[in-house]
Amino acid sequence: MSFKLPDLPYERSDLEPRVSLRTMDFHHGKHHQTYVDNLNKQIAGTKFEGDTLETIVTESEGGIFNNAAQVWNHKFFFDSFSPSGGGHPQDELARAIERDFGSFDKFREEFSRAAVTLFGSGWAWLVKTSKGTLDIIQESNAGNPIRRGFSPVFTIDVWEHAYYLDYQNRRPEYVKALWEIVNWPLVSSRF
């Protein structure tokens, strides 16, 4: 099986001004594409050739894992946004957020803190645990919560390539801007 760069569910310019076309060209068009290309090269002739992306993320190590997880993580991330997004969920996910964090505002504050304070590069994740509760975790580098038995619900990419062209070193501004474009119906469907 050969992987290809997943299409975006919107045009690259649709998330402006929160995420610029220039950033999307680099982040999706170059970085995400490079992970796909590297993964295809690395799995050729290995036991992972022909496996699903989830299997590779769960079972591989080293460079194969890094590229597979980055392909998976980026698709999950890009799919989480919409030019008409923002607000907050209005369904079962909303009730779970209130149950597990006290309120949507407290959840947003805790999640933003996790994204902003992650040292170096990586991901902040909202996950569903095996007990059905929600938790916020940080994963460095290509870390993916499915390897730890969690079900991912939402993520924010805090690798510098995700925001540096638009926000330079102002990660808190980038995180704040993303809340305005979250596709809550899609995110809620993951819960």
CA distance 112 to 177: 11
- CA distances to 11, 29, 68, 109 from 5, in Å: 14, 8, 12, 32
CATH classification code of 21-79: 1.10.287.990
pLDDT tens digits, one per residue of 39-58 = 999 999 999 999 999 999 99
Give the integer Cα–Cα distance in Å for 79 and 143.
18
Q: What is the pTM of this model?
A: 0.95
Q: Are 71 and 36 in contact (CB under 8 A)?
A: yes
d(CA 20, CA 125): 23
Distances in Å between the alpha carbon of 176 and those of 7, 116, 173?
25, 10, 5
Q: In what order do the strands lie in the sheet containing 134-140? A: 134-140, 122-128, 151-157
Per-domain residue ranges for the chain?
A: 21-79, 92-189
Which class in CATH covers the domain with range 92-189? alpha beta
Per the listing, tokens 């989830």 go with 54
The pLDDT assigned to 1 comes to 67
55-68: pLDDT as tens digits: 999 999 999 999 99
**Which stretches in the chain have pLDDT values below 50?**
none
Helices then strands, counting H and E runs in the chain, come out as 9, 3
